[in-house]
Amino acid sequence: MIITILLSVMMMAGLFLMLLAGVGFIQDKKFFSSAPKEVRDVVPETKPERLKGQHMIGWVMIVISFALMGGAVVLGAWNGIANDFSFWQFYVRFFVMLILLKAFDIVFFDWILLSNAGFNFFTNFYPETKPVLGRYLFGYNWKTHLIHVVLFIPCVALLSWICTLI
């Protein structure tokens, strides 16, 4: 279970790196597609680079974030195969990893960074968001989170089944 937790933390780091790359470096409104309407309305389409190569750094960070998250799944599968995991052991591992990632998304991104403007994360890069951020935003995307959790069930089953075939 410790390996599963470590792999989950690896995925969380990847997700945070993706957010930081999109919001802090690439600074394109496309990265706000899942943000509340109030935030999307005040964010400009794009922002000029503050330093030369800033957008390229952001895209490199995005690639690294995908590598971290995908690598966590691959390492989880590899470790499970090496330890002769059953379907249910794989299923529990991958489901726990995704549920912890979803919990991180809800607690850290939605509650701390967005609803409570923690660490002034968004306002540091987009000062125009300061008036619209607040606790009333928490839960704005509960349907999306619920759909993700429901979709985890068949996706994790498929991944677990594939791992048992290898």
Higher pLDDT, 103 or 46: 103
Which residue is it, tokens 């429901």? 150
Non-local CB neighbours of 165 within 8 Å, separated by 6+ positions: none
The number of residues in the chain equals: 166
Highest mean pLDDT among 5-9, 39-43, 53-57: 5-9
Query: Residue range 77-93: average pLDDT?
Result: 96
Say which residue, 116 or 105, is predicted with more confidence. 105
User: Which bin fits 98, alpha (ψ -120 to 50), beta or left (φ > 0)?
Assistant: alpha
For the chain, the domains span 2-165
Q: Are 121 and 109 in contact, with CB atoms under 8 Å apart?
A: no
Given a contact cutoff of 8 angstroms between Cβ atoms, the answer to whether 129 and 39 are in contact is yes
What pLDDT, on the 0 to 100 scale, is given for residue 57?
Answer: 95
72 contacts 10 by C-beta, under 8 angstroms: yes
Report the range of poorest mean pLDDT among 16-30, 47-61, 74-88, 118-132.
118-132
CA neighbor of 126 nearest in space, from 10, 14, 28, 52: 28
- The alpha carbon torsion through 143, 149, 151, 152 (nearest 10 deg) reads 160
Residues paired with residue 28 on neighbouring β-strands, in sequence order? 46
Looking at residue 65, its pLDDT comes to: 97
pLDDT reading at 77 higher than 90? yes
- Contact (CB, 8 A) for 54 and 25: yes
Q: Specify whether the CB–CB gap between 104 and 12 falls below 8 A.
A: yes
Portion of the chain with pLDDT greater than 70, in percent: 99
Q: What is the pLDDT of residue 114?
A: 78
pTM of the model: 0.88
Q: Which residues pair with 46 in a beta bridge?
A: 28
Give me the mean pLDDT over the 131-159 stretch: 86
